[in-house]
Amino acid sequence: MALTPKTKYAKGYKTKALVLSAALELISTKGFQNVTVDEICAKCNVTKGAFYHHFPSKESILDRLHIDADKQIEERIPEILKKTSSLDIFSELSYLYAQMTVIRGVEIMKQRFRNNLDSEHWNINQRDFYNPQNRPLLKTYAKVYNELQESGEVSLEFSFEHFFHFLIVTYDGVVLDWCYNNGSYDLPSAVQEATERYVLSFKVNRTKSEAVK
């Protein structure tokens, strides 16, 4: 019996989930460079044909994890907005991202940084990373930031693109140090503290207590 489009989608989603789960487990114990596609397929009982149907390469698994994280964060934004309507939302979101980073593990993030140092991979994926058309979550971030500027809470001096670029620099800096220390400290708390200090510089009316943080 032929599969319906809905059934095909469900089956494909399950296959991708199995591959990601197996890859994460293997990479966390053996390291990215020491894991092969064959091992991943054997671990989750998926054919190589099915693997390459969903993932062009082993490296593309990392990109999929990033996309999935975006989707999970986007689902949480309405809940966070109910609690805060200030720049603090970016600290909250960074904290959530850091929690997901811990789940992925140190080895995954180390490889992510290695990929970013590869000029070809970096140039291709950096365009997607900063393009709202390819990354819907970025539209939501920009909307929140622009609304805060309109309300007078955030300085009009800097564009969202400027703010977001250095927000990522701040986040990646902490994650890189966490990787260097083999995940030996509380990443979400460290990321949240660093992000709070960063976004504070964009606030128009800071209290004295905020200014000395």
Domain ranges of the chain: 1-58, 59-211
Taking the C-alpha atoms of residue 210 and residue 213, their distance in angstroms, rounded to an integer, is 5
pLDDT at residue 126, rounded to an integer: 54
Query: What is the pLDDT of the chain when averaged over all its residues?
Result: 83
Instruction: Give residue-wise pLDDT tens across range 163-187.
Output: 998 999 999 999 999 999 999 999 9
pLDDT band at 46 (very low <50, low <70, confident <90, very high): very high
| Alpha-helical runs (H) found in 2-59 | 5-30, 37-44, 48-54
What per-residue string of b and e applies to 42-54 under the rule 16 or more CB within 10 Å gives b? Answer: ebbebeeebbeeb
Higher-scoring residue by pLDDT: 5, 130:
130
The amino acid occupying position 129 is: F
Taking the C-alpha atoms of residue 126 and residue 179, their distance in angstroms, rounded to an integer, is 21
- Is residue 105 within 8 A of residue 24, CB to CB? The reply is yes
Fold observed for domain 1-58? Arc Repressor Mutant, subunit A (1.10.10)
Using alpha carbons only, give the angle 62, 64, 70 rounded to the nearest 5 degrees. Answer: 110
pLDDT band at 72 (very low <50, low <70, confident <90, very high): confident
Q: What is the DSSP letter of 107?
A: H
Domains 1-58 and 59-211 share a fold: no
pTM (two decimals): 0.79
CATH class held by domain 59-211 = mainly alpha
